[in-house]
Structure 1
Amino acid sequence: MALFSRKKTPAPARPRNPFVETPEQEAARREREAAEAAAAEASRVVYEPRKGGRPTVENPRTKRVSLSLSDQEHETLVAAAEGQRVSVWAREVLLDRLDTSEVSHIPGEVARLRADLGRVGSNLNQLVRAVNSGQTVSSAELLEAVEATREELARVRGELP
């Protein structure tokens, strides 16, 4: 009697290992992870890095001009600068004098008169704007501004060459 038969029987099916994916499951997982990564990348806000160091100047001033002044001359320039740095004030004055525009050949007094006229005109403009916006402005105040503008204009016209 033979206890062991020589005939082979098929092995029983192995139970599925929950920790091992099938190729279909692995492909689906990879597609899902790729879609999630693309969505995360699209929603990420990217900021431009800040530039480090000192800011760059468009027209840097690299040339120097120096003056030798007496104490009295320096005090005169400091007083004329009226609180500005003397170098800034001197550069503005020199460049204004060298300017080839129409205003540069007008004498200094007329330029000051034009500035005064501009201030009076500005005051008049503010009054008219207030009236147009519905605010009440006294007629005397408005008449005073118009008269001041008229007088200043006559003075400027009289002094122009």
Structure 2
Amino acid sequence: MALFSRKKTPPASPPNPFVRTPEQEAARREREAAEAAAAEAARVVYEPRKGGRPTVEHPRTKRISLSLSEQEHEALVAAAGGRRVSVWARERLLESLATDPAPGAGVEVARLRADLGRVGSNLNQLVRAVNSGQTVPSAELLEALQATREELARVRGELP
């Protein structure tokens, strides 16, 4: 009886190709994400060319005008040696600013001017006294004049 039993088991149905299990769906999403990442990494991105004039980091926007005679202009053109005169002149001007005297030189000149002013004041007082009729001993006058000469010589030697 077992051979011809009425109870039949239904045959296994083939899987439906349009229905996926959650595991299959998760695997498919992972595979697609990996493929998209690989495609993005392999893609070559070209930056678009900038149009128009190139930009300058420190643009020169200020102008200085200069009037020259024909001879002065020719001299500058010759000195520039085939380069643009404006570029050559800017470089020379900036070089001269960079080679200014040491920062302490202004203080030294001010000190020398003050010394010279004091010497001139003393000399002026002596001359006024002589012109007003006061008698100044000759030895004192000669000593003051000698000191003035020495001071002037020292100042002239110290000036650049």
TM-score, with length taken from structure 2? 0.43
Larger-gyration structure (1/2): 2
TM-score, with length taken from structure 1? 0.43
